[in-house]
Structure 1
């Protein structure tokens, strides 16, 4: 029996939440995994750990040395500058590059129907490397634009095969560091108002384990270009809060509709639905949000006391 050669996979980031789950899956599949990050924490046991600031092109080259990879999965590329550095450094070192992108690339789309990948074609997106991408406050308010332009940088080079996984809003896991479900839990438990837009729209979601499964599956594929990754079924803020409220029978859900001003997480003035048919045609089977939502809430909030 001829054994297949283990793949060499580089994961940039990969030290928390989705990334560490992805690395664990790749190692379990027999891949040789290298994780590159700034060294704030170690990757799962069994992975090679390289330390470098991916914003420093020369430091990145030194850390990688002469290494080459079958696939690169970039979990922490947020700007076109970072994408341009990655493309220059990794050109000729990998047969395929997978960017973890986001549903936020569709922030300017307003469609009743779930949006398809063609709604934002990265080959037509203008790139501005001169914007202050290095400033955290700018990046925080231009997250979707940063990802959109990062996709565009990669798509501009046909000799550098790449895919962009546009990830829905992620829920689940005891290590969810975002605090978004906790926001609802705190207010429901205390009976404090939950601020939502007057016209509150639903969105697409995916469980943290499912997106890790998807990325591990994507490593084994050869498709390029953007692909939406979202569980079946949209969720409203009301449905999210109902699942949270089940954990706190003595709590109270109080809504406050606002026309202008800050609203709660996962509250949207327009529909944030993604069409996942391309990924389905490629062979990935998604779960249903309403089936895994109670589990996601239980994982994130624990017993609720």
Structure 2
């Protein structure tokens, strides 16, 4: 039986990933701070650690323990990446880092992986508070791809959506529109890509079987303009959105971007992964969530 370690697996797509791997018959260990309970009972083993503390990470990963695959959903800095490179040296056959669309800047074109090349990106060490989120993820990728002695793939996800999304990004828009509150969106014409929490988990589970290293983009097929997304919510709520460019910080859309923010997924598609059409699940999700609010 192969050993799988998931750093961060008690909520959202990490939780879904655990279920997929258990269904495939793997021995799964979840490593978190222990602040969030899970539903897996004795089906999984658990490790309690502070991902940002190297000593804690070293103590949690016992000497002699080897892993077929480590999924790292909670690496947010280059220092945390460097610590993992050292702690897991000689202990893992494959490492899959959850990265982000935020490594790219918004632009009126689809980003390809080489637009930000982690193999040559200059490394600067520091904690997550020393950098913006996007820069911290760029640097974490660079550390792993330049310094790890094990194979690493960095999955660049866009914003992940689902009824299990603890960040409440869709709920923000649904509630604001229902209550007639203004929403700050700088560019309604901007196009965005998304992925569902279920598809994100499926992609990670699929990637474990592929012999691919480096960065790889993953998002559902197609894009949607923010104006269209707002229109879907208006249709489901029966209310007209109040869109403004100048609003209080708490009314700024978590999806508000100055320009389009989309990715090219041809690399993953060439490897054989078939992404779901965005329009096959996002309007339906909005409908369900609007009915629940």
Q: Same fold (TM over 0.5)?
A: yes
Runs of 4+ in 1 over 4 A off after TM superposition: 258-262
Partner of 2:14: 19
Shift in Å, 1:259: 11
Partner of 1:278: 267
Partner of 2:100: 102
Partner Cα distance (2:213, 2:187) in 1: 39
TM superposition score normalised by structure 2: 0.92
Per-residue Cα deviation, 1:19-44 (whole angstroms, up to 9, x for no partner): 00000100001111111111112443
Report the more deviating stretch, 57-66 or 286-295. 57-66
- After superposition, where does 1:104-143 map in structure 2 within 5 Å? 104-107=102-105, 110=107, 112-129=108-125, 131=126, 133=127, 135=129, 138=130, 142-143=132-133
Per-residue Cα deviation, 1:96-127 (whole angstroms, up to 9, x for no partner): 100000000002x63x3211001000012122
Contact 1:198 1:259 in 2 (8 A): no
Partner of 2:26: 31
Contact 1:81 1:150 in 2 (8 A): yes
Partner Cα distance (2:101, 2:140) in 1: 14
Shift in Å, 1:183: 1.4
Residue-pair matches, total: 289
Shift in Å, 1:254: 2.1
Partner of 2:157: 167
Per-residue Cα deviation, 1:238-274 (whole angstroms, up to 9, x for no partner): 222222223312x222222459988412121122110
Seen in structure 2, the aligned counterparts of structure 1 residues 10 and 157 have a Cα distance that, compared at 3 Å, is same
Partner Cα distance (2:247, 2:49) in 1: 45
Partner of 1:64: 61
Partner Cα distance (1:19, 1:80) in 2: 21
Shift in Å, 1:188: 1.1
Gaps of 5+ in 2: none
TM superposition score normalised by structure 1: 0.89
Partner Cα distance (2:183, 2:200) in 1: 28
Partner Cα distance (1:158, 1:85) in 2: 10
Seen in structure 2, the aligned counterparts of structure 1 residues 169 and 286 have a Cα distance that, compared at 3 Å, is same
- 1:303 matches 2:272: no
Partner Cα distance (2:240, 2:98) in 1: 37
Partner Cα distance (2:188, 2:161) in 1: 23
